[in-house]
Amino acid sequence: MIPIFICDDELPFVRQIEKLIKNQVSIMAYDMGPVQICSSPDALLDEISKGERAIYFLDIDFPGFENGFELAMKIRKIDPRGFIIFITAHNDLVMETFRYRLEAMDYIVKGDGQKLKDRIQSCLGSIEQRICDEQKEESGYFSLKLFDTVRHIPLQQISFFEAIGTKHQIRIHMKDGILDFYSSLQQLEEELGETFWRCHRGFLVNWKHIRRIDLKKNEIELENQERCLLSRREKSRIPQELKGRLFPFV
């Protein structure tokens, strides 16, 4: 589910578009929400510090703060794949989105209530379609925040995740190298879904990269010849898709 943020300091207007968004999401059963309201750029940046992909409805003017374009630039550094929509009373600043190279999805001028509703509905529909198209691709992406950047790694390039050391340190094994970061295998298992199999308390493996399962040694051999451990518990719960890769055959 992709979260939605509204950043505007005009509360009556915020409530208006919040209602429009919630109604459309509910009617069309979009995988979006919750809708979160932030009255200032600082409040919004605090909320999105984790780098999760989101939808942003931004005003341009924030008295006492930076403008909406500068806010969008900071958002892009945290969430480069997010969807940005400007909603403002200024109809003469649309070219600024190009000057700042923000790749905004839309620039909606406040005023006509029906046009506002139609444009918001159109934006949400386009976002839903784009997300669906991405999910239909051969592989999705695993988004990993490293310091002040976010890296999007195709799932097909990931062989397995390994718990190392202590304090939730995880090592991701990819076709082109390894990366260490902090998380938990349980959290990753919930996030990544059925493509990854928790074969052992210390390993979360991409079963599409499994070459064979050695039942005698309780090991899993990957296509790149790396190996993961197989627990006794998971030995009896091997996914159906992997039955043909058992060794010795049983």
Full set of structural domains in the chain with CATH: 2-136 (3.40.50.2300), 141-247 (2.40.50.1020)
Phi, psi of 8 (to 5 degrees): -160, 140
Check if the beta carbon of residue 128 is closer than 8 Å to that of residue 28: yes
* Residue 123 pLDDT > 90: yes
* The pLDDT value given to residue 91: 67
Q: pLDDT-based confidence at 250, cuts 50/70/90?
A: very low
Q: pLDDT-based confidence at 137, cuts 50/70/90?
A: low
**The two three-digit tokens of residue 92, written as one number:** 């003469």
**Tokens 């190009």 identify what position?**
98
* Distance between CA atoms of residues 129 and 31, nearest Å: 11
The proportion of the chain whose per-residue pLDDT surpasses 90, expressed as a percent, equals 37
The whole-number average pLDDT for the span 87-107 is 68
* The pLDDT value given to residue 60: 83
pTM of this structure: 0.56
